Amino acid sequence: MNRSLSGKNVLITGGSRGIGLAIACRLAQEGANITIAAKTAEPNPKLPGTLYTAAAAIEAAGGQCLPIQVDIRDDVALQAAVNQSAEHFGGLDILVNNASAIHLTPTELTPMKRFDLMFGVNVRGTYASTQACLPHLRASGKAGRNPHVLNLSPPLNLNPSWFAPHVAYTMAKYGMSMCVLGHAREFKHLGIAVNALWPQTAIYTAAMQMIPGVLPEHCREPSIMADAAVQILQRTAQDPEGTGQFFIDEAVLRHAGITDFDVYATVPGSQTIQRDFFLD
């Protein structure tokens, strides 16, 4: 692919750490302008990273960054953030729906407060963010700038084995994937590509470190997701496989000619890499 992301205006939800931040920094290296729309403005001892440390990392990677504190469950604040981003950078070309809440528990151990958080952030937040960005993405399409929505969500699979251990979380993540399924078809005539990206293996982030039994030597770094995102965002809605796709990071990179995946291992040389949720 020889299309460039230089000068593209990107909004990433929840990108103050982990995979979202890795994608932001990688797109900044490609010359994109980045808006981080996230809640964390003050340091959290359990989850390191804030809007402002993220902005510093993005700028160190060579990009411009606009950090905006926003809870994507607040419709008014969300729309204001989207409009501020578009005004600041002169438009919006790419939305990365990265913000997500996780609670891996069976039904009797899932408080409704946690259920509501996952549905509020994962499903409603993704839908609301896409809706808020749509006028700007439509304008990007009219200008021939190849607009794109990328949801960090898994391929849809109705095998009960993915539901039984954590019904609420699975429904919430699949809600993001159903947005891909519907919005790709709905927006294709506007030239807006809509796709999903999911890791083939466990990715070692601060959130993953809080899950019992996940060891760094069994994981890959978030950079593999970032490199895959760059490849996906250069496709178009008119490409045969450019929209409505559920991409897996390793498969995307293999298609791009990459064969050495040890460079992404959290512990180089590790012979045991754990497959991620939702993949056979």
pLDDT in tens, 15-25: 899 999 999 99
169 is catalytic: yes
Which bin fits 17, alpha (ψ -120 to 50), beta or left (φ > 0)? Answer: beta
pTM of the model: 0.95
pLDDT tens for 68-117 read 999 999 999 999 999 999 999 999 999 999 999 999 999 999 999 999 99
Cβ burial 115-134 (10 Å sphere, 16+ → b, else e): bebbbbbbbbbbbbbbebbb
| Residue 254 tokens, joined | 């293999």
pLDDT digits (tens, 9 = 90+) for 183-241: 999 999 999 999 999 999 999 887 777 676 778 888 999 999 999 999 999 999 999 99
Catalytic residue chosen out of the listed positions 169, 174, 204, 264 = 169
Report whether 15 contacts 58 (CB < 8 A). no
Report the C-alpha gap between 253 and 256 in whole angstroms: 5
